[in-house]
């Protein structure tokens, strides 16, 4: 059967690629190839840049209120297409529908935020900063912005970027993950229906080749990236070398620390959801539990019982808790980590490889895995596995637990489970991690805050979305004015001006 080809979206319509390289897009629940995706090249990107440049000239001059109206309409359209978008996420990513719907909602919330742009773009004004002198600042768009996004949130992560960039008056080129690109296409079509002029939002497909073309293109002024840490490091350095403003968010290994005074039942429920939701393919997944010795056994028993009860199967079936992994290669990589954990002497309490769903010949399924007595030098603790694998370490006290989180290479999210306010307060003040939950396992900030980790979970000075997003996608212009009377005396003065 002839495969469907997903074209680029350039200047408001589908455009076929000049590349002869194509990748496969799978339905991970069946393992079937459902479409082909062009691996775009420099020539394709040039078309997108020409469209974005042309559109920028008038979009950047469009009134702020008109830009906000487009966002209001967009929000309405996203809501009326909620079901279709959710199904698209599940079809290409595999996560269960309820999880896909939640991730879409978190993206729509960024559009809600973008609707407030008339207020958010207000500058500052100070009168009489010197005698007869006033000073004000305004935020102006930058030009063509770009975004490269990961597979695990095909709607939410693109929406962390383009709504804010666009409502600030920029045009945008999005390069979504080559593994699940269809959602981005629908998001772009809906922007057109919302009244966005053609060329303001463009979507190009591909892999390193087109990402490098974006990084090297002199007309593209900003580069936003979300993905794995090695690629984040690479794009941060290359974008900086090419003079672009860059924000690059990377990988994670999020710890849940459980103190002796935590409610163990509630804690176990939260950790199970955060560890195995989306099959562990979330940058804010809990992949490490650090338990104080005195509660470790009871927590372990509960985690094990609950993990065993999870139902695994196609995301379209509402009875399932967990869908497949994204590709066969990724499943093999996660299984290899389970083997490494076993070889290094960790206690393998639940082996996802033995789950019946893992050996079925359809789809990229892997059962949940739980390790206990994991040590801090094991690869299953150190590396981001990005699958349904939860590892548990035991420590003697709170400070040893916090030390583990602080020493880890990644610093994206962390959660503390406790009923003791003073411990929580000390934790919030001292932990070396960017997003902190107290009795909240997945502390993804709402759209009016901003998202970003610390250490090797982020490169560049800017978090994503919220006011950080507005600042990232605008340049500040500060104006000093003086209106002297025609006949006012003004002597020549070569000294650095000071105010009086
Ligand atoms: P990835 O790094 O493989 O790919 C991300 C994007 O970069 C894709 O669009 C891909 O086409 C492109 N890319 C891949 N290799 C490249 C290269 N060598 N040069 C240039 N571009 C390249 O990540 P993924 O597997 O799609 O997503 C999972 C990763 O993303 C995990 O590490 C996860 O923690 C991370 N992630 C982080 C956050 C966050 O906010 N910190 C959010 C979601 C996902």
* Residue ranges with strand state E in 439-488: 454-455, 458-459, 474-482
Residue from 228, 253, 466 to probe ligand 1 pocket by mutation (most atoms less than 8 Å from CB): 228
> Considering the domain 4-250+457-479 in this protein, what is its CATH number?
3.40.605.10
Residue found by looking up tokens 């009871």 in the block: 298
| C-alpha 150 – ligand 1 centre gap (Å) | 4
* Protein residue whose Cα sits closest to atom 17 of ligand 1: 208
Residue found by looking up tokens 């001059």 in the block: 61
Atom of ligand 1 nearest to the CA of 384: 32
| C-alpha 161 – ligand 1 centre gap (Å) | 15
Atom of ligand 1 nearest to the CA of 179: 26
Whole-number Cα distances in Å, 206 to 8, 17, 45, 149, 252: 10, 10, 10, 11, 24
Whole-number Cα distances in Å, 366 to 223, 331, 334, 380: 35, 7, 9, 16
**Please, are residues 433 and 388 in contact by the beta-carbon 8 Å criterion?**
no
Quick one: pLDDT at residue 1? Answer: 58
Residue from 28, 150, 252 to probe ligand 1 pocket by mutation (most atoms less than 8 Å from CB): 150
* Protein residue whose Cα sits closest to atom 35 of ligand 1: 227
Residue from 205, 209, 227, 286 to probe ligand 1 pocket by mutation (most atoms less than 8 Å from CB): 227
pTM score of the predicted model: 0.98
Residues 6+ apart with CB under 8 A from 4: 34, 35, 36
Alpha helices per DSSP H over 129-225: 156-167, 182-193, 208-216
**Please, are residues 469 and 446 in contact by the beta-carbon 8 Å criterion?**
no
Atom of ligand 1 nearest to the CA of 206: 11
Pair of tokens at residue 20: 């002869």
In sequence order, the β-bridge partners of residue 452 are: none
| C-alpha 494 – ligand 1 centre gap (Å) | 54
| C-alpha 135 – ligand 1 centre gap (Å) | 43
Quick one: pLDDT at residue 491? Answer: 86
* Protein residue whose Cα sits closest to atom 27 of ligand 1: 150
Pocket of ligand 1 (CB under 6 A): 148-153, 157, 175, 177-178, 207-208, 211, 226-228, 231, 234, 249-252, 283, 384, 386, 412, 453, 457
**Please, are residues 177 and 150 in contact by the beta-carbon 8 Å criterion?**
yes
Is 283 a catalytic site residue?
yes
Atom of ligand 1 nearest to the CA of 451: 40
| C-alpha 15 – ligand 1 centre gap (Å) | 25
Residues 6+ apart with CB under 8 A from 143: 56, 170, 171, 219, 220, 221
| C-alpha 305 – ligand 1 centre gap (Å) | 33
Residue found by looking up tokens 């104006």 in the block: 479
Atom of ligand 1 nearest to the CA of 207: 11
Superfamily of 254-438 according to CATH = Aldehyde Dehydrogenase; Chain A, domain 2 (3.40.309.10)
Atom of ligand 1 nearest to the CA of 151: 26
Write down the domain spans for the chain.
Answer: 4-250+457-479, 254-438
| C-alpha 251 – ligand 1 centre gap (Å) | 8
Q: Which helix (H) or strand (E) holds 258?
A: strand 254-258
* Protein residue whose Cα sits closest to atom 24 of ligand 1: 150
Quick one: pLDDT at residue 11? Answer: 98
- Relative to beta strand 389-395, strand 410-411 is unpaired
Atom of ligand 1 nearest to the CA of 249: 41
- Relative to beta strand 435-438, strand 454-455 is unpaired
Whole-number Cα distances in Å, 189 to 65, 77, 149, 178, 194: 22, 10, 18, 18, 9
* Protein residue whose Cα sits closest to atom 21 of ligand 1: 208
Residue found by looking up tokens 């995301």 in the block: 315
Q: Which of 115, 145, 168, 283 is catalytic?
A: 283
Quick one: pLDDT at residue 499? Answer: 77
Residue from 175, 208, 231, 330 to probe ligand 1 pocket by mutation (most atoms less than 8 Å from CB): 231
* Protein residue whose Cα sits closest to atom 9 of ligand 1: 177
| C-alpha 262 – ligand 1 centre gap (Å) | 35
Distance CA 112, CA 132 (A): 41
**Best CA proximity match to 292, nearest among 439, 416, 422:** 416
Q: What is the pLDDT along the chain (500 residues), one digit of tens a residue?
A: 568 999 999 999 999 999 999 999 999 999 999 999 999 999 999 999 999 999 999 999 999 999 999 999 999 999 999 999 999 999 999 999 999 999 999 999 999 999 999 999 999 999 999 999 999 999 999 999 999 999 999 999 999 999 999 999 999 999 999 999 999 999 999 999 999 999 999 999 999 999 999 999 999 999 999 999 999 999 999 999 999 999 999 999 999 999 999 999 999 999 999 999 999 999 999 999 999 999 999 999 999 999 999 999 999 999 999 999 999 999 999 999 999 999 999 999 999 999 999 999 999 999 999 999 999 999 999 999 999 999 999 999 999 999 999 999 999 999 999 999 999 999 999 999 999 999 999 999 999 999 999 999 999 999 999 999 999 999 999 999 999 998 888 889 899 988 77
* Protein residue whose Cα sits closest to atom 36 of ligand 1: 227
């Amino acid at each position: 059967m002839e495969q469907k080809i997903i074209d680029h979206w350039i200047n408001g319509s589908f455009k076929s690629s000049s590349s002869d390289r194509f990748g496969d897009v799978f339905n991970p629940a069946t393992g079937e190839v459902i479409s082909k995706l062009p691996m775009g090249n420099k020539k394709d990107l040039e078309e997108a840049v020409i469209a974005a440049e042309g559109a920028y000239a008038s979009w950047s001059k469009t009134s702020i209120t008109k830009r906000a109206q487009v966002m209001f309409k967009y929000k309405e359209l996203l809501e009326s297409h909620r079901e279709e978008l959710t199904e698209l996420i599940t079809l290409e990513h595999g996560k269960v529908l309820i999880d896909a719907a939640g991730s879409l909602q978190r993206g729509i919330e960024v559009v809600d935020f973008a609707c407030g742009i008339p207020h958010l773009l207000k500058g500052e004004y100070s009168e009489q900063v010197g005698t007869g002198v006033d000073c004000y600042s305004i935020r102006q768009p930058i030009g063509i912005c770009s975004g490269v996004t990961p597979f695990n949130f095909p709607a939410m992560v693109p929406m962390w970027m383009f709504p804010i960039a666009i409502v600030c008056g920029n045009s945008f080129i999005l390069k979504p993950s080559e593994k699940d690109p269809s959602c981005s296409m629908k998001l772009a079509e809906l922007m057109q229906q919302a009244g966005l002029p053609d060329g303001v939002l463009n979507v190009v497909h591909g892999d390193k080749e087109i990402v490098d073309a974006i990084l090297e293109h002199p007309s593209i002024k900003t580069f936003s990236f979300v993905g794995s840490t090695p690629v984040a490091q690479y794009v941060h350095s290359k974008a900086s070398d090419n003079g672009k403003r860059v924000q690059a968010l990377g990988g994670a290994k999020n710890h849940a620390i459980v103190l002796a005074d935590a409610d163990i039942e509630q804690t176990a429920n939260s950790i199970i959801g955060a560890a195995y939701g989306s099959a562990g393919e979330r940058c804010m997944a809990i992949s490490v539990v650090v338990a104080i010795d005195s509660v470790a056994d009871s927590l372990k028993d509960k985690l094990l019982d609950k993990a065993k009860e999870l139902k695994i199967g196609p995301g379209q079936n509402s009875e399932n808790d967990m869908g497949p992994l994204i590709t066969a290669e990724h499943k093999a990589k996660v299984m290899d980590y389970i083997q490494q954990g076993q070889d290094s002497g960790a206690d393998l309490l639940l082996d996802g490889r033995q789950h019946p769903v893992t050996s079925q010949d359809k789809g990229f399924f892997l059962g949940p895995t739980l390790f206990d007595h994991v040590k801090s030098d094991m690869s299953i603790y150190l590396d981001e596995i990005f699958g349904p694998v939860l590892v548990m370490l035991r420590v003697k006290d709170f400070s040893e637990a916090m030390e583990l989180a602080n020493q880890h290479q990644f610093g994206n999210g962390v959660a503390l489970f406790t009923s003791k306010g003073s411990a929580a307060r000390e934790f919030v003040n001292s932990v070396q991690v960017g997003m902190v939950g107290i009795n909240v396992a997945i502390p993804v900030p709402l759209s009016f805050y901003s998202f970003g980790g610390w250490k090797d979970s982020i490169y560049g000075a800017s978090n994503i979305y919220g006011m950080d997003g507005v600042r990232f996608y605008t340049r500040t212009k500060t104006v000093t004015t003086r209106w002297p009377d025609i006949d006012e005396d003004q002597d020549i003065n070569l000294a650095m001006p000071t105010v009086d």
